[in-house]
Amino acid sequence: MSNPFELLRTEMDELVIGHSDVKTALLLGIISREHIYIQGPPGTAKTMLSEIVSKSAELSFFFYQMHRDTRLSELVGDLVISREDTEGGEIIRQNIIKGGILTSEICLLDDISRAPGESLNVLLRILNERKYGDEEIPLLTAIATSNPTADEYYNEPLDPANLDRFVIQINSNGLSYSREWEDVKKIVNLYSAKNTSNGHVERIGKDVLDKSYQQLEKIIVPSEVQDGLISFISWLIEDQRLNESNSVISDRTFLVKSIKIIKASAVLAGRSEANLEDLKALKYILAFRVPEEVLKIAEEKLESIQSQKKKTKK
């Protein structure tokens, strides 16, 4: 069978022009079942790409537009009040009928930075533990989007501890401001030719995700890839002088989750063993954990670790 994720990628490419990194980040997120945070200016197809993924994987989907008064109950289902007359008087109960993030497999939380702190903290705890009370929830991946934080967007940045709940982090940029003129031309062309109702999305189905997750758990990570990961982390700390005040290099993310992302990259490439090429996927965990200047050179560093090791092997 051909690689189902290639099919999904082709589908994304047909409907959304450019944004290659955001597409890869979304694929790595659903393969590894980790949460994804996409930050970018309005109208850069963040919502559209997330919808394509959830449709294609045929997952039960929950979409929620966060706002300044978002209450937790709106995210976890419907509150129902029941009254019962008893001899001792009236008993009023408040129950929830579970819904929202408690019953969906994939959810899109749009504009997450608009939500008020008290709802956000509980939400992020549920996302992190994948449990509500003692019960496990079926959620595979939450995709949160946010506009860049700035006064004119009426939002506040998520604090670093909350952001760390999203293993995959990516910046999405407008194509015009990025001067991607070839892509700009393609979009104008696409919409000039487009007849309406062209939203059909090819299905890869949920089975594919279950199978690929079993595959992911069996991926072998050879010692040279492990060494590459360690040398990257030490480059961040020793050479780039990152510390607790200018970055979030948590052991959870960099020593544990990062390996899952390396494995997801191997699955995406259709391999059963990780190799040095997969180290490049580490750039998808960096966006809001390291300063912008480091983010800019990290990709090169990951490339160079890869090519150095390859040379020494020969």
| Binding residue for Mg ion, selected from 3, 21, 47, 248, defined by CB under 5 A | 47
Enter the tokens of residue 75.
């995210």
Output the smallest distance, CB 108 to Mg ion, in A. 8
> 34 vs 110, which CB is nearer to ligand ATP?
110
> 46 vs 257, which CB is nearer to ligand ATP?
46
Q: Is 171 in the site for Mg ion (CB under 5 A)?
A: no
> 142 vs 242, which CB is nearer to Mg ion?
142
Output the smallest distance, CB 203 to Mg ion, in A. 23
Output the smallest distance, CB 295 to ligand ATP, in A. 20
201 contact, one of Mg ion, ligand ATP, none, CB 5-8 Å limit per kind: none
Output the smallest distance, CB 225 to ligand ATP, in A. 33
> 14 vs 224, which CB is nearer to ligand ATP?
14
147 contact, one of ligand ATP, Mg ion, none, CB 5-8 Å limit per kind: ligand ATP
Output the smallest distance, CB 110 to Mg ion, in A. 5
